[in-house]
A and B are shown apart, each in its own frame.
With several copies, the nearest count.
Chain A
């Protein structure tokens, strides 16, 4: 966990409203899949939390969607400029070396953190099933990248413009994927459906944050079982065992 002025190496549009930025930064050596960085954007007060999508020798990659003023400003950043990143932050997806196959389920901008996870499982030569859900064909990204890693990739679109029409759950059914150890990240309804269907694995959550390091209590979520227990999404999370937190 440190503040660093990373150097933007590239910042390109890869799908509708979706950008990929490569950042050269020393903190990459401490990063684990599922963690995030907190990015300061000129003109805006609060840092923006963005998942680490890929960890490389000299830096890391983020994939982000333009949803508001901050991400719009980020999309306008040019290569060679510096960017103020704080990280790596939060918990990571644990790697279970004893498993032979895992199922990664991502929806929209929940897809990015799963990419590094897939990479690490593929290095261990495990079977990696990847199910990606998007709104429409134009929003799809990383299908080829996951395939290039040697994952089994299935895509669903809500409007049916590509792959299975419907949700990631529809795609899992359509392709009769039976692996029951899941890692997921995506919008709330998707996570709800996954929680109802699977008992094993991990989930990653979002929350409005201020500090991103566990000090302000902005981002808490209740424990599902212990009435009195709260977890900080930024510190104990964003990755939790499936069924751990109320959302």
Chain B
């Protein structure tokens, strides 16, 4: 079966993309399999400067999920441009650069630098991170702020811009529409949900950062609901993410309205999961009588 998906800037040979922050820059996984097998790779969020992130512990386990508070540790956009992207150029897969910052200007700064790279095919704005200028709230939590950073990013970018939405909002549709109107070429949804765990011995948070982002199968029903709602309200493509562990989950996201998907924490549980999903996907589509990816996209509301 043809698994090829064409999205703004992205010519994916299959709809499977490891999610940002769950695959580093691919080096560790390249020791396990050929990265050219992947539809694309969403690399770790890039910020203008090197960032060391939060104190440890940075992760905690939860029922059917995990919490993380890595704090955007990354070597900074310059090192990524110099070392990581040229290394990634050897693989026949589409690189999506995830961009983050503490202010709108930082997003622009990162994008302006990455524009020079031939390797990066599209941007993905991580608007879930707390924003310093706006009192620490995420840019993704109000339509106005989300639209503003999208507009600025679009003005700066020489490649398509996808916006990765935060699920920690009352009305995801409102934010998706604002972002579309501001010129986004696509959406990635969802980022992690804010959660927390306490240590039974001390009574204190397990994560040094107190709260963290919940990911994994636990959040899949929320992700599916949001993709379903947004897909009916916007005309730009959606990359679905949240709790995918197997090809059946990919099909569920397609039905909900996603055109491709990202796989996050499952890469930690089974480092080969992305290739396994790519291998299984045609069989699963066949099992459920689906003849093409296109046919499945949005079936839930069509």
On A, residues with C-beta under 8 Å from B are 1-3, 40, 44-47, 86, 207-222, 228, 230, 235
| In-complex Cβ contact of B59 among A208, A213, A214, A228 (8 A) | A208
Question: How many Å lie between the Cα of A131 and that of B216 in the bound state?
Answer: 42
Question: How many Å lie between the Cα of A210 and that of B19 in the bound state?
Answer: 15
**Is B22 in the interface zone, CB < 8 Å from A?**
yes
| In-complex Cβ contact of A210 among B29, B50, B265 (8 A) | B265
| In-complex Cβ contact of B58 among A40, A86, A208 (8 A) | A208
Interface centre among B58, B265, B272, by most chain A C-beta atoms within 10 angstroms, is B58
Question: How many Å lie between the Cα of A230 and that of B76 in the bound state?
Answer: 14
| In-complex Cβ contact of B28 among A45, A215, A221 (8 A) | A215
B269 contacts across to A, CB distance below 8 A = 40, 45-47
Tell whether, in the assembled complex, residue A208 and residue B56 are in contact, meaning their CB atoms are under 8 Å apart. yes
Tell whether, in the assembled complex, residue A214 and residue B24 are in contact, meaning their CB atoms are under 8 Å apart. yes
- Residues 61-75 of chain B, each 1 if its beta carbon lies under 8 Å from chain A, else 0: 110111010100100
From known contacts A44-B61, A215-B24, A216-B24, infer whether A210 and B68 are also in contact, taking CB-CB under 8 Å: yes
Report B212 CB to chain A, min CB distance, Å.
11
From known contacts A45-B61, A45-B64, A45-B65, infer whether A219 and B271 are also in contact, taking CB-CB under 8 Å: no
Tell whether, in the assembled complex, residue B59 and residue A210 are in contact, meaning their CB atoms are under 8 Å apart. yes
Tell whether, in the assembled complex, residue B70 and residue A216 are in contact, meaning their CB atoms are under 8 Å apart. yes
- Considering only CB atoms and an 8 Å cut-off, how many residues of chain B contact the other chain? 35
**Is B116 in the interface zone, CB < 8 Å from A?**
no
Tell whether, in the assembled complex, residue A214 and residue B66 are in contact, meaning their CB atoms are under 8 Å apart. no
Question: How many Å lie between the Cα of A207 and that of B59 in the bound state?
Answer: 10
| In-complex Cβ contact of B70 among A3, A209, A218 (8 A) | A218
B265 contacts across to A, CB distance below 8 A = 45, 210
Report A41 CB to chain B, min CB distance, Å.
11
Question: How many Å lie between the Cα of A81 and that of B272 in the bound state?
Answer: 23
Tell whether, in the assembled complex, residue A217 and residue B70 are in contact, meaning their CB atoms are under 8 Å apart. yes
Question: How many Å lie between the Cα of A209 and that of B56 in the bound state?
Answer: 10
**Is B270 in the interface zone, CB < 8 Å from A?**
yes
Tell whether, in the assembled complex, residue B59 and residue A46 are in contact, meaning their CB atoms are under 8 Å apart. yes
Question: How many Å lie between the Cα of A220 and that of B73 in the bound state?
Answer: 10
On B, residues with C-beta under 8 Å from A are 21-24, 27-29, 31-32, 44, 50, 52-53, 56-62, 64-66, 68, 70, 73, 206, 216, 265, 267-272
B21 contacts across to A, CB distance below 8 A = 216
Tell whether, in the assembled complex, residue B58 and residue A3 are in contact, meaning their CB atoms are under 8 Å apart. no
CB-CB nearest in chain B for A84 = B270
Tell whether, in the assembled complex, residue A218 and residue B61 are in contact, meaning their CB atoms are under 8 Å apart. no
| In-complex Cβ contact of B272 among A3, A218, A222 (8 A) | A3
Tell whether, in the assembled complex, residue B271 and residue A3 are in contact, meaning their CB atoms are under 8 Å apart. yes
Tell whether, in the assembled complex, residue A47 and residue B61 are in contact, meaning their CB atoms are under 8 Å apart. no
| In-complex Cβ contact of A211 among B50, B52, B65, B271 (8 A) | B271
Tell whether, in the assembled complex, residue B28 and residue A211 are in contact, meaning their CB atoms are under 8 Å apart. yes
5 residue pairs A–B, Cβ–Cβ below 8 Å = A208-B57, A213-B271, A216-B21, A216-B268, A220-B53
Question: How many Å lie between the Cα of A209 and that of B70 in the bound state?
Answer: 11
| In-complex Cβ contact of A230 among B28, B52, B268 (8 A) | B52
| In-complex Cβ contact of A46 among B23, B28, B31, B66 (8 A) | B66
| In-complex Cβ contact of A212 among B32, B62, B268 (8 A) | B268
Question: How many Å lie between the Cα of A213 and that of B70 in the bound state?
Answer: 15
A45 contacts across to B, CB distance below 8 A = 61-62, 64-66, 216, 265, 269
Given contacts A210-B268, A211-B22, 5 further A-B contacts (CB under 8 A): A1-B31, A46-B66, A211-B271, A219-B56, A228-B52
From known contacts A211-B28, A230-B52, infer whether A217 and B58 are also in contact, taking CB-CB under 8 Å: yes
Tell whether, in the assembled complex, residue A211 and residue B268 are in contact, meaning their CB atoms are under 8 Å apart. yes
From known contacts A208-B60, A210-B68, A216-B59, infer whether A228 and B50 are also in contact, taking CB-CB under 8 Å: yes
B64 contacts across to A, CB distance below 8 A = 45
CB-CB nearest in chain B for A207 = B56
| In-complex Cβ contact of B268 among A1, A3, A47 (8 A) | A47
Question: How many Å lie between the Cα of A220 and that of B268 in the bound state?
Answer: 16
CB-CB nearest in chain B for A221 = B56
From known contacts A215-B23, A216-B22, A230-B52, infer whether A86 and B271 are also in contact, taking CB-CB under 8 Å: yes
Interface centre among B59, B65, B216, by most chain A C-beta atoms within 10 angstroms, is B59
B57 contacts across to A, CB distance below 8 A = 207-208, 218
Tell whether, in the assembled complex, residue A218 and residue B65 are in contact, meaning their CB atoms are under 8 Å apart. no
Tell whether, in the assembled complex, residue B60 and residue A230 are in contact, meaning their CB atoms are under 8 Å apart. no
Report A66 CB to chain B, min CB distance, Å.
14
Tell whether, in the assembled complex, residue B24 and residue A218 are in contact, meaning their CB atoms are under 8 Å apart. no
CB-CB nearest in chain A for B217 = A45
Interface centre among A212, A217, A218, A220, by most chain B C-beta atoms within 10 angstroms, is A217
B70 contacts across to A, CB distance below 8 A = 216-218
B32 contacts across to A, CB distance below 8 A = 1-2
CB-CB nearest in chain B for A211 = B268
Tell whether, in the assembled complex, residue A3 and residue B270 are in contact, meaning their CB atoms are under 8 Å apart. yes
Question: How many Å lie between the Cα of A2 and that of B60 in the bound state?
Answer: 24
**6 tightest A-B CB contacts, nearest first:** A215-B24, A208-B57, A211-B268, A218-B59, A217-B73, A215-B28
